[in-house]
Amino acid sequence: MNTETQEIINHSFEYAKELLEDTGEFYPFGAYLDRRGQIHPLEFETDKRNMPTNGQVIEGLTKYCREEMKNGKMRGFGITYSAGVQLHEGEDAIETVAIDITLASGEIAPVYYLPYNITGTGTTEFGEIFAVKREDLNADKS
């Protein structure tokens, strides 16, 4: 794992943990590395009278970050959201914090997951981080 990926993961998981511990929930958000390698949070501006869906927030953040990266203003970004993940066939999905990372270098980063559970007493318990490799959709398949 490279330093850029680690910076995005550290920031994103820490912020998601704070939100879960403070409120019991979290909303999609982003984090990006500027050209100097500094990490910055990124949240979607919302209108309380017209709240977007989580999917719309993820799409909006991704579109914004891709454009900024294309214009050379970002070295990489991560979009963090809640995701249910089924680890084994026939078992229920577990709740996770997911981070989808895109790097300007073109390196294909896996999706990183942090399992969590909110107990009956309201305490948030976290599991071990794991990653799921993804295929390069642009790779030559001949």
For residue 24, is it within any domain? Answer: yes
Residue 76: inside a domain, yes or no? yes
Return the closest-CA partner of residue 29 out of 58, 64, 1: 58
Q: Quote the mean pLDDT of the chain.
A: 88
pLDDT at 129: 93
Number of domains in the chain: 1
- Mean per-residue pLDDT for 20-25? 86
Strands 111-118 and 94-103: antiparallel
Residue 137 included in any domain: no
The CA distance from 4 to 14, in Å, is: 16
User: Per the domain annotation, does 138 fall within a domain?
Assistant: no
User: Is there a domain that residue 48 lies in?
Assistant: yes
Note the pTM of the prediction, 2 decimals: 0.86
pLDDT at residue 11 in the model: 94
Q: Tell me if 142 is assigned to some domain.
A: no
Q: Work out the pLDDT band at 136, boundaries 50, 70, 90.
A: low
Rg for the chain (alpha carbons), in Å? 16
**Banded pLDDT at 26 (limits 50, 70, 90):** confident
Distance of alpha carbon 49 from the chain centroid: 26
Tell me the C-alpha distance between 13 and 97, whole Å. Answer: 7
- For the segment 79-107, the average pLDDT, to the nearest whole number, is 91
Q: Which of 33, 46, 45, 57 is nearest to 109 (CA)?
A: 33
Range of the domain at 60: 3-132
Q: Using a pLDDT cut of 90, give the percent of the chain over it.
A: 54
Per-residue confidence band for 51, with pLDDT thresholds at 50, 70 and 90: confident
Indicate the SS3 state at residue 141: coil
104 lies in some domain? yes
What pLDDT is attached to residue 141?
A: 46
Please report whether residue 15 resides in a domain. Answer: yes
Spatial distance between the Cα atoms of 19 and 8, rounded to a whole number of angstroms: 17
